[in-house]
């Protein structure tokens, strides 16, 4: 059965709303698609190979690079918070939300490491679940949680939607920096989002549904889902 739950126009608008990473002059989707295959060829283990934080003057970063780091920090927190919240509603049906939330905690901490490294102010001044400095992400969190609580299927599609959005924004951010530590970390986040998307789709398909791409190019999503060589988180 080929079924996709109804997603409100407001939610679709929120998903397509330009993030900091897609500011004027940002990359087009064609370039992003090409980078989707290229970005993850770099070893993700290099991103966090050192436990020592060497602070680099944030003046070395462009305004876009700085804004992208701040946005990514809260976007990964959003994923964590949504999954923790939806696990409260649907944890008896699946462990996918709880498991991926743990991974998202690692992701947001990875970006926090980059903020420290480059001396950029952390936008997460309150790590409470569901609290964000970025107003766009605050509104998005509220809407995603509300949608995800309406049904188990909608919750799974919300999870998949978050991962597609993360990939879109990560690719845009990669295309707007030449800082190797940032590129390596973003590539690691990209790998994680691919893995998470596969996990959500696996549960969706277990319900007798066929998943269709919600944001990314359908062919790109199909390639991600067919990648059996990837090691799941």
pLDDT tens-digit map of 145-192: 999 999 999 999 999 999 999 999 999 999 999 999 999 999 999 999
Tokens 């699946």 correspond to: 94
Q: State pTM to two decimals.
A: 0.78
Domains of the chain as residue ranges with CATH? 58-226 (1.20.1260.10)
Across residues 134-154, what is the average pLDDT?
99
Contacts 24+ apart (CB under 8 A), 147-151: 147/7, 147/8, 147/11, 148/82, 148/85, 148/86, 148/89, 149/86, 149/89, 151/5
């Amino acid at each position: 059965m080929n079924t996709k739950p109804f997603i409100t126009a407001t939610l679709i608008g929120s998903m397509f709303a330009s993030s900091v990473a897609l500011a004027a002059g940002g990359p087009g989707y064609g370039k992003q698609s090409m980078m989707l295959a290229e970005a993850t060829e770099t070893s993700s283990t290099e991103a966090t190979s050192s436990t020592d934080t060497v602070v680099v003057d944030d003046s070395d970063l462009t305004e876009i690079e700085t804004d992208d780091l701040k946005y990514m920090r809260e976007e990964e927190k959003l994923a964590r918070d949504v999954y923790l919240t939806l696990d409260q509603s649907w944890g008896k049906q699946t462990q996918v939300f709880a498991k991926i939330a743990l991974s998202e905690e690692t992701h947001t901490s990875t970006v926090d490491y980059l903020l420290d490294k480059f001396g950029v102010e952390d936008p997460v001044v309150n790590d409470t679940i569901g609290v964000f400095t970025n107003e766009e992400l605050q509104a998005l969190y509220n809407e995603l949680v509300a949608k995800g609580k309406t049904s188990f299927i909608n919750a799974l599609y919300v999870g998949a939607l978050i991962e597609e959005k993360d990939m879109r924004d990560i690719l845009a951010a990669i295309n707007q920096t030449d800082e190797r530590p940032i590129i390596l970390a973003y590539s690691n986040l990209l790998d994680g989002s691919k893995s998470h998307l596969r996990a959500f789709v696996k549960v969706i398909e277990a319900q007798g549904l066929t998943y269709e791409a919600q944001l990314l190019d359908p062919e790109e999503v199909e390639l991600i889902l067919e990648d059996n060589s990837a090691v799941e988180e």
